[in-house]
Structure 1
């Protein structure tokens, strides 16, 4: 078998919460999962000879033949998967829910399976904390779909049958060596419930002076002083507790001060103890 890398679409699907299942329930889950993927391929008109599928226990990894149009998977295949999931979940107390990710790039194949950075990225998109957070926030939605930034711009953004680019949203994905942006979609929702981005902690003197400037653009102020756009004629500060350090000085007790930045040092009064 040739190990030459070919440009192929890669799909990784994973069942949510499978670790909680017992053996019999897990076997039923696997049967349903394979039925879901088969329905997707039928809907997209993709035969078994056009893809290589690997079993991943509670998921599957698939690489499509180079001549399979990516739009068929992003559109009709995804719709087929979604509809089959709805059928599988009829009457289930615990619905079958899946995360599915796609990316396209060079993929090598040997007797043992699939390899390549495209495979790595697809799996990391599917298994990322961001993807797990989104499917959790999506309540009982049966399917989360994630595509790489390049696949979104090359395929999804162009639209087509069963493709809804306006219902995708972009979020950051960090997993192992991967730090990138991806696009998230929950079928039948106007937009996916993305987790709130983490805000950097602001402490010390910069917390008193105002928010730090956004990263990217502007001069580097080295953390020693606020940039010019944050400068003001007067500086107000309140310090609670004893032995607080403020602009290089130590104060014992609460202290409220006002400083005229143009004319002189800060003056103020201590409510207890003295400043030094």
Structure 2
């Protein structure tokens, strides 16, 4: 077929003409191939070359009918079509101290790891069989289907996984326990990669899971099952807005740094059902924003309690350490609703005027 064959002048270039242009000897990125050199028009070159070098120049980049770029034909010599990236929720999971286990312990840990994840997901109505996963010996990367609720994954699946891990570990020696670091992020990902899932969001979530503060936080709580780290966007849009069983006030802001990989970002971390503010963990400390939120809550609680105090002081019943306000009943079998001071005694002592 002639290299200049096209439909509509430029909207589509055949598989053979594509290979002719891209495989020409001596061509390099940025070099311009003239029509005299290759017998291909400028419009045809502009329709083909950007796909090869990943430079999005026009709406023609992807074929709207099949959601892919026109590099080759499916099943033909040109190779598979590159699919559109999809925005998905990404979960990276890694087992603590996996490499320190013996061969048999690693074998058993892998089996228990998969069982616990499947059971926890099933318990909250999630079907992990539908998840696209990339397995590793000590963990996995999961791409969650679009229709799955992010709040259900974070607010229900993670707490359920933590409960099952705690129960599982309660009857096992420390060397046989399964404890997990779980990282959650979202972003664009290619699902048709030749050897995994290409995408910066995938790199990001894996960097979170491997962060040193996350490892240290989990190590600080020997009975915990899950240390959860989420991106700033996930914390803002999901954890704070739709927490379900999670407690947003327990998340602390951390810096995730991998100097050798030129990676430095901020994220939010919690150890599920534990209080990071109660222990000293290197690299982990409550953020100023979190402290402000706690102060605001205390102020709100104080404001709610103040009218009650005023009512007691102006018109309520006050007898020693017993204070009663509102509707009161006096007489045999009557009930009084009120508050008891911290120093009140259940009975009277001999000689006590009360």
Looking at structure 1, the residues matched to 138 and 128 of structure 2 have their Cα atoms a distance apart, in angstroms, of: 21
Partner of 1:129: 212
Partner of 2:173: 93
Tell me the matched-pair count.
Answer: 198
Which of 139, 144, 163 is 2:246 aligned to? 163
Pairs within 5 Å for 1:45-124: 45-48=125-128, 50-94=130-174, 95-110=177-192, 112-124=195-207
State the Cα deviation string for residues 142-201 of structure 1 (Å, max 9, x = none): 211110111100110113421211111111110223211111111111336563459xxx
1:15 corresponds to 2:95: yes
Looking at structure 1, the residues matched to 203 and 217 of structure 2 have their Cα atoms a distance apart, in angstroms, of: 21
Q: Which has the higher helix share?
A: 2
Looking at structure 1, the residues matched to 83 and 126 of structure 2 have their Cα atoms a distance apart, in angstroms, of: 23
SS in 1 for 2:84: coil
Name the CA shift for 1:87/1:160 in 2 (closer, same or farther; >3 Å): same
Partner of 1:44: 124
Structure 1 segments unaligned to the other structure (5+ residues): 199-276
Looking at structure 2, the residues matched to 103 and 183 of structure 1 have their Cα atoms a distance apart, in angstroms, of: 11
Partner of 1:241: none
1:183 corresponds to 2:263: no
Q: Larger relative CO (CA 8 A, sep 6+): 1 or 2?
A: 1
Q: Which runs of 4+ in 1 moved over 4 A?
A: none
Partner of 1:267: none
Looking at structure 1, the residues matched to 124 and 188 of structure 2 have their Cα atoms a distance apart, in angstroms, of: 22
Structure 1 vs Structure 2 CA RMSD: 2.0
- Of the two, which has the highest radius of gyration? 2
1:138 corresponds to 2:221: yes
TM-score w.r.t. the length of structure 2 is 0.53
Q: Which has the higher strand share?
A: 1
Q: Is the 8 A contact 1:40 1:80 kept in 2?
A: yes
The offset of 1:61, in angstroms, is 0.8
Looking at structure 2, the residues matched to 144 and 6 of structure 1 have their Cα atoms a distance apart, in angstroms, of: 27
The offset of 1:44, in angstroms, is 3.2
